[in-house]
Structures are given as C-alpha cells and as structure tokens.
Structure 1
C-alpha cells in the first residue's frame, strides 16, 4: 500500500514538473515572439526613415539642379 502511495506521489511530482517545464517553454516562446515583433517594428521604422531621407534628398537635388539650370538659362 505504501509503495502505491509513493508511485502516485511520484506521478504527481512528475506531472507538476512537466507542467512547469511546459509553462516555462511557453513563456520563453512569448518573449522570443515579442522580441521578434519589436525587432520587425524597428526595422520597418528604419526602412521608412531611410525611404523618407532618400525622397527628401532626391527632391533637394532636383530643386538644386533646377535652380542651377535656371541660372545658366538652360531651364525656364
């Protein structure tokens, strides 16, 4: 009878340990998912900022060229 009680206790402890491992694994995956999402948002922001900078630079270059062309009488 005592042996059965020990077996039951062992099963309960093993079950609790497995539940704890599963919970830790799920929590770790959630941290990884959040870090990945944050990284993607950061990369999206860098891409957007870079695109805006390129667009502004192109506009400035176009305006400079236009002003230079007007000074030389090449553009109206």
Structure 2
C-alpha cells in the first residue's frame, strides 16, 4: 500500500513539474513575442524617420537647385 502511495505521489510530482515546464515555456514564448513586436515597432519607426529625413533632404536640395538660375 505504501508503494502505491509513493507511486501516486511520484505521478503528482511529475505532473506538477510538467505543468511548471509548460507554463514556463508559454511565459518565455510570450516574452519572445513581445520583444519581437517591440523590435518590429522600433524598426518601423526608424524606417519612417529615415524616409522623412530623405524626403526633407530631397526637397531642400530641389529648392536649392531651382534657386541657382534665378539670381
């Protein structure tokens, strides 16, 4: 009878350990997903900022170039 009790306890401990591993894996995946999303947002912002800078520079260059013949 004691052997059955130990077997049941072992199964409970193994089940709890497996649940903990599953929960930890899910939490780790959530952290990875959030980091990936944050990284993507940062890259999107860099791309937007870079494009705005390129557009402003192109406009300034165009305005400067068009002013050369008018003086």
- Cα separation, 1, equivalents of 2:39 and 2:69: 44
1:7-36 Cα offsets, whole Å, 9 max, x none, are 000000000000000000100010010000
Give ranges in structure 2 of 5+ residues lacking alignment. none
Give TM-score scaled by structure 2 length: 0.97
Instruction: Give the ranges of 4+ consecutive aligned residues of structure 1 lying more than 2 Å apart after TM superposition.
Output: none
The structure having more radius of gyration, on CA atoms, is 1
In the aligned structure 2, how far is the partner of 1:25 from the partner of 1:68?
Answer: 64
Deviation at 1:54, TM superposition (A): 0.2
> What is the count of residue pairs matched by the alignment?
71
| Cα shift at 1:45 | 0.2
More contact order relative to length (CA 8 Å, sep ≥ 6): 1
